[in-house]
Amino acid sequence: MYGGFWQKVADLDRRWIYLVIGLATFIPVLTYIRVPVSITSEVSAVYDKLDSLPRGTVVMVPMEFGPSTMAELQPMATAVLRHCFSRDLKVISTALQIEGVILVEQVLRETAMEYSKNYGVDYVFLGYKPSPDMVILNMGENFRNSFPRDYYGIELDSLSMMNGISNYSNTACIVNINATSGVDYWINYANGRYGADLALGVTAVIATDYYAFLHSGQIFGLMGGLKGAAEYERLIGRPRDIANRAMTSVSVAHVFIILFIIIGNAAFFANRRKDRS
C-alpha cells in the first residue's frame, strides 16, 4: 500500500503541477507583501560607480532585451536610468536587439519624462543597427560611424549632448543591460579592444557565467535578473518598485520548486527500492 502511494505520487499528472506553480506565483502577485532583499557587492559596485560620477558626466546604457525577457530586465533598466537621471548624468543608449528597439525607446522616453529630461541635451537614443559585433567595434572608433543619425533621424552632430563625444573613451562607463549572448561582444570588443569600463545587467539565466569576468576585472559590476533589479531599486531608495514586489512571488515559487525536487526524488528512491526488493 505504501509503495502504491509513492507510485501514485510519481505518476501525478503534470497539469496539477502547472496549477500549483501557477497559483504559487500568482497569489503573491495579488497580495503585495514585501520581503527583505539582501544587497550583494556586485550590484552595489554598479551603484557606487554611477553614484560617484560628477554631475553632467556622460555614461552609456546600451539595452538589448526584447519582449521575451522584459519581465527581468525592464525593471533593472528603469532602476539604472532613474539613478542616472536623478544624478543628472547624461545617457547615451542603443538597442542592438531588433525585437526590443521600441521597448527600449519607451523605457528611455518615459523615465526621462519622469525626471523632465530633454532629448538631445540629457540623453540620446541611437537605436538599432544590425550585427551587434560590428556595431560595437565601430562605436569604439566613433559613434557616428555606426550611427550617422540617431533613432529619430536627427544627425548626431546637431545634438548638443554629442558635442565632443566621439567614442567610448569620452564616456565614464558602460552599463550594458543585455538578454542576449551579445554580452560577449561587449566584453571582448568594448572592454577588450577599446578598454571601456563595463558593467553588466543580464538575465538570471546567463548571470552566473559572468562571475568569471567580474573576478578578472573585465567588468566592474554585475546585476542578475529580478534579484539584481530588486537590489538596485533598494539602493536608489525605491523599495516599493516592481522588482521588489515580484521578489515575493520568486521566493514562494522557489520554495515550491525545491519541494517538487524533494518530493520527486523521494518518490523516485522509494519506487526504486520497491523495484529492487
Contact set for another protein, span 179-238 (CB under 8 A): 187-189, 191-193, 195, 203-218, 224-227, 235-238
Closest to another protein by CB, 177 or 227:
227
Q: How far apart are CA 5 and CA 20, in angstroms?
A: 20
254 binding another protein? (CB under 8 A): yes
Interacting residue with another protein among 146, 176, 178, 180 (CB under 8 A): 146
Q: How far apart are CA 163 and CA 21, in angstroms?
A: 52
Q: How far apart are CA 114 and CA 120, in angstroms?
A: 16
| Grid coordinates belonging to 246 | 515580484
Q: How many residues bind another protein (CB under 8 A)?
A: 129
Compute the least distance from the CB of residue 170 to another protein, in Å. Answer: 7
Compute the least distance from the CB of residue 16 to another protein, in Å. Answer: 7
Interacting residue with another protein among 81, 87, 124, 232 (CB under 8 A): 87
Q: What angle do CA 133, 148, 97 make, to 5 degrees?
A: 35
271 binding another protein? (CB under 8 A): no
Interacting residue with another protein among 3, 8, 121, 141 (CB under 8 A): 141
| Grid coordinates belonging to 228 | 539584481
Closest to another protein by CB, 3 or 110:
110
Q: In a 10 Å sphere around its CB, with 0-12 CB exposed, 13-18 middle and 19+ buried, how is residue 121 labelled?
A: exposed
Any residues with CB less than 8 A from the CB of 101 and at least 6 apart, and which?
95, 127, 128, 151
Closest to another protein by CB, 189 or 220:
189
CA dihedral 124, 129, 133, 134 (to 10 degrees): -100
Compute the least distance from the CB of residue 2 to another protein, in Å. Answer: 19
Compute the least distance from the CB of residue 277 to another protein, in Å. Answer: 19
Q: How far apart are CA 208 and CA 198, in angstroms?
A: 17
**What is the secondary structure of 169-215 as a DSSP string?**
GGSS-EEEEESSTTHHHIIIIIIIIT---EEEEE-HHHHGGGHHHHH
33 binding another protein? (CB under 8 A): no
169 binding another protein? (CB under 8 A): yes
Distance of alpha carbon 174 from its chain centroid, rounded? Answer: 13
In the region spanning residues 61 to 80, those forming contacts with another protein, defined by CB under 8 A, are 66-72
118 binding another protein? (CB under 8 A): no
Compute the least distance from the CB of residue 53 to another protein, in Å. Answer: 7
147 binding another protein? (CB under 8 A): yes
Closest to another protein by CB, 5 or 141:
141
255 binding another protein? (CB under 8 A): yes
